[in-house]
Amino acid sequence: MSSHYEAPIREPLVTGEKSYHDISVDVGAPVLGKANKSWWIVFSIALVAFLWGLGCIIYTISTGIGVWGLNKTIGWAWDITNFVWWVGIGHAGTLISAVLLLFRQKWRMAVNRSAEAMTIFAVVQAGLFPIIHMGRPWLAYWVLPIPNQFGSLWVNFNSPLLWDVFAISTYLSVSLVFWWTGLLPDFAMIRDRAVKPFQKKIYTLLSFGWSGRAKDWQRFEEVSLVLAGLATPLVLSVHTIVSFDFATSVVPGWHSTIFPPYFVAGAIFSGFAMVQTLLIVMRKVSNLEDYITLLHIEYMNKVIILTGGIVSIAYITEYFIGWYSGSSYENYTYLSYGAATGPYWWAFWALITCNFIVPLTLWVKKWRRNIMWTFVVALVINIGMWFERFNIIVVDLSKGRTPSGWTMFSPTFVDIGIFMGTIGFFFVLFLLYARTFPVIAQAEVKTILKSSGERYKRLREAGKSLEGTATDKRTSQKDSFDAIEHEKHSGEIMLLLENVGEFDPTTQKKDHLQEINGIGPKTELHLNDIGIYSYQQISKMTKREYDLFDSISGSLRGRAERDDWAGQAKKLINK
């Protein structure tokens, strides 16, 4: 069909023989199934880190900021470094869901949900720091222009720290509704697939009664597009405003007009690195390798190359302008007495190595298509971008205009503990998300299945029409199994039950057979009609039983064997 035209040069974005139903099953599986042991182990570690960080935060607030390693010269260090680092990480999510939507990039669809989740969880971490680094955080509400009993004393709208309040809260809230609106159809899918009553109730509540009417979809798409149009300048503005915290100051090394675009590029750079780190693990753990393919990883690597290049140019520009300005205070010129050769040389060279040299390897196609290497590079970039913020903040503050104020900074265990705590908190949220939310925007992936799915590409290349090809045998069998059929096949049914065992409803519990890939609602009814209700019974099926079932049901030839129902049932028993 012409509506699904796709240039043959493009590689498929959904691999395998996927149908619409497969997408629902694969996306629903982690949500409707149970968590495995490794999930609980990782979750516990993250929770412990989070609780430790929480302890450090409580200790700071109840004792005073003096428990940190700050001094009179260096009043911002790990707190604001971590703040900018987390905000930066958050930027990739909006970039993927908004900017790539405006550019109609189909590959965004498999990654946008998790990238947006990452945004929200990262901005939550970032949002902690502006509060806890305050000397008197219980007066934090004074940053809001609320009428009050002090003659209505207002805030000063000249300060970038106040702009931060508006920027971060707008960013978080807009990202949240953007994400949530996109989730409604997917929650509705989970709602309609859920069997446990409590689960059904929860997802009914979360899906806001989404029904998928044509008019709803029309508005939904318009709303997504407008939100993308709003989120794109928003994402640029937020990190711009964060960069104003430094750029509008008079501190040599901070006062620089290049900061807004340079910070934004760095944010996208570090954000994509974090997306890679998370998704490379998630596609494996949640069995989503057919949706988050090597091609997605390569595309994200290309964005990393681009933004990493922009960041590198910014470093060079800073360096050049430092020398070109002729200002003796511009100690950002790394070589004068600043970063490269001073006491913080290690932080500077960590930055150059992690952000400039290592990402260059991604120019080699073989390496950027190597998942292990991508994972390593992504981790390295996350570290490098932390050092970038550390360099800008701490190194520039450590040697100011008056040499009598020069000093060094070293963090205390509380500084480090709070940072660890935010990492723990982030993973607590992300791990909970991965178990309860549809991690792939299945409604969106279904829209590109016919244009970018491997199976449909093959059909198209063979010159076949795609009309009717989405029909899935498992969900749309018209035949039904009635009493007459039962009578006709009674001999075979007896043979079949002899081998798999009878089901005793008084002592045994009926299993949800649709958990087995290849068994749809109709097939389950068939199986139940015959007298098969449990995984135990299915796990005893062999070639002979499969053939018996095939001849009884009269459809699905060889399907049971191909899908290895017995093997799947065994796994489900052991879960």
Residues 119-178 that bind other proteins (CB under 8 A): 145, 152-158, 160, 162-163, 166-167, 170, 173-174, 177-178
The tokens 């949500």 sit on which residue? Answer: 31
CB of 283 to other proteins, least distance (A): 22
> Considering beta carbons, is residue 35 or 146 the nearer one to other proteins?
146
Q: What's the CA gap between 38 and 380, in Å, rounded?
A: 24
Site size for other proteins (CB under 8 A): 77
Q: How near is the Cβ of 87 to other proteins at its closest, in Å?
A: 14
Question: For every residue of 79-134, which 3-state class applies, written as one string?
Answer: HHHHHHHHHHHHHHHHHHHHHHHHCCCHHHHHCHHHHHHHHHHHHHHHHHHHHHCC
Report yes or no: 89 and 118 within 8 Å, Cβ to Cβ.
yes
Residue placing its CB nearer to other proteins in the complex, 435 or 473: 473
C-beta separation of 430 from 121 below 8 A? yes
251 lies in the site for other proteins, by CB under 8 A = no
Q: Are 361 and 369 in contact (CB under 8 A)?
A: no
Least distance (Å) from other proteins to the CB of residue 232?
Answer: 10
- The CB-of-253 to other proteins minimum distance in angstroms stands at 20
- Closer to other proteins by Cβ: residue 199 or 336: 199
Tokens 């503005």 found at? 237
Answer yes or no whether residue 460 interacts with other proteins by CB under 8 A.
no
- Give residue 298's identity as a one-letter amino acid code: E
Among candidate residues 306, 273, 279, 309, the one with its CA nearest the CA of residue 294: 279
Q: Tell the smallest beta-carbon distance from residue 225 to other proteins (Å).
A: 8
Determine the Cα angle at 450 with ends 447 and 456, to 5°: 160
Quick one: which of 37, 136, 215, 366 contacts other proteins (CB under 8 A)? Answer: 215
Q: What tokens appear for 284 in the block?
A: 């494996």
Residue 109, sorted as left (phi over 0), alpha (psi -120 to 50) or beta, turns out to be: alpha
Q: Is 472 in the site for other proteins (CB under 8 A)?
A: yes
- Supply 282's token pair: 């998630």
Residue 200 Cβ vs other proteins, minimum distance, rounded to whole Å: 10
Touching other proteins, residues 386-425 (CB under 8 A): none
Instruction: Count Cα atoms within 13 angstroms, Cβ side, for 547.
Output: 3
Pick one of 121, 129, 210, 427: the residue that binds other proteins (CB under 8 A).
210
Is 14 near other proteins (CB under 8 A)?
no
Buried b (16+ CB within 10 A) or exposed e, 280-311: bebbeebebebbbbbbbbbbbbebbbebbbbb
What are the beta bridge partners of residue 453? 14
With binding defined as CB under 8 A, does residue 233 bind other proteins? yes
Q: Is 478 in the site for other proteins (CB under 8 A)?
A: yes
Contact with other proteins (CB under 8 A) among 10, 196, 219, 365: 219
Q: Minimum Å distance from CB 151 to other proteins? A: 9
Please state the closest distance from residue 19 (CB atom) to other proteins, in A: 7
Residue 241 CB, nearest distance to other proteins (Å)?
5
> Site for other proteins (CB under 8 A): which residue of 63, 148, 218, 328?
218
The stretch among 271-279, 375-383, 436-444, 559-567 that binds other proteins (CB under 8 A) is: 436-444
Question: What's the closest the beta carbon of residue 477 comes to other proteins, in angstroms?
Answer: 9
Residues 504-523 that bind other proteins (CB under 8 A): none
**Any contact of residue 24 with other proteins (CB under 8 A)?**
yes
Asked if 49 and 420 touch (Cβ cutoff 8 Å), the reply is yes
Query: Which residue from 68, 220, 386, 565 is in contact with other proteins, where contact means CB under 8 A?
Result: 220
| Contact pick of 199, 412, 469, 536 for other proteins (by CB under 8 A) | 469
When binding is defined by CB under 8 A, the residue of 227, 350, 431, 566 that contacts other proteins is 227
Cα 166 to Cα 163: distance, rounded to the nearest angstrom: 5
**Alpha-carbon gap, residue 84 to 168, rounded angstroms:** 11
Q: Which CB sits closer to other proteins, 8 or 209?
A: 209
- The C-alpha angle with vertex 20 and arms to 19 and 25, in degrees rounded to 5, equals 95
Q: Is 150 exposed, middle or buried (0-12, 13-18, 19+ CB in 10 A)?
A: exposed
Nearer to other proteins (CB atom), residue 75 or residue 491 = 75
Which of 161, 205, 357, 494 touches other proteins (CB under 8 A)? 205
- According to DSSP, the residues that pair with 115 across neighbouring strands are none
Q: How far is the CB of 146 from other proteins (least distance, A)?
A: 11
